[in-house]
Amino acid sequence: LNYIGGKDFEGDTLASDVSGHQVDLTATFQATEALGFGVNATSKTNAVAEGDNTNWFGAALYANYAFSDLFTLGLRGEYIGDPDGEILGIPDGNVLSLTASGNFHVGALTIIPEFRVDMASDEAFPDEDGKLAKTLPVVLVAAVYSF
């Protein structure tokens, strides 16, 4: 559990009349040797001396299953609620993201193909035609080498 608070930014400037308060929780649970779960939740409030306070919040749930020493499958669901448009720029906006990741372990190298879909409450993501869309599907591959 973490907390951070103090003076906060208004745009690009540190504002003396804005204070931010953020609480963040991260927890994991290893159900079996192969199955693990995780949660991350955070909430931030900006308190303004004159005007309305603003806030946003988010949460993520994780599940990982190791089928073998060579392959682990991870599933993740994330939600960001932004009633004041503080981080998404969309008043009353929210984003739901669903991700599936495969982890192929080859010695010190891990290859991670991933499929992710982000779904916003309003058009927020540029599509291939340059127009804004509510949904953004993404396929990527990462490589991680551990020393």
Q: Note the pLDDT of residue 90.
A: 83
Query: 96 forms bridges with which residues in the sheet?
Result: 79, 119
- Domains delineated in the chain: 1-55 (no CATH), 72-86+97-122+134-147 (2.20.25)
Give per-residue pLDDT as tens, 86-96: 888 888 999 99
Angstrom distances, CA of residue 9 to CA of 13, 18, 21, 55, 70: 5, 7, 12, 14, 45
DSSP conformation letters of 20-49? EEEEEEEEEEE-SSSEEEEEEEEEEEEEES
Both structure tokens of 46: 């900006």
- Average pLDDT score over residue span 19-41: 96
Q: How confident is the model at residue 11 (pLDDT cuts 50, 70, 90)?
A: low
Angstrom distances, CA of residue 128 to CA of 114, 119, 133, 136: 20, 16, 10, 10
Among 115, 107, 114, 103, which Cα is nearest to 145's?
107
Q: Note the pLDDT of residue 73.
A: 99
Among 29, 128, 50, 134, which Cα is nearest to 88's?
134
pTM assigned to the model: 0.84
The whole-chain average pLDDT of the chain stands at 92
CB distance 30 to 21 below 8 Å: no
- Average pLDDT score over residue span 4-24: 78
Q: Which of 74-78, 119-123, 124-128 has the lowest mean pLDDT?
A: 124-128
Q: How confident is the model at residue 132 (pLDDT cuts 50, 70, 90)?
A: very high
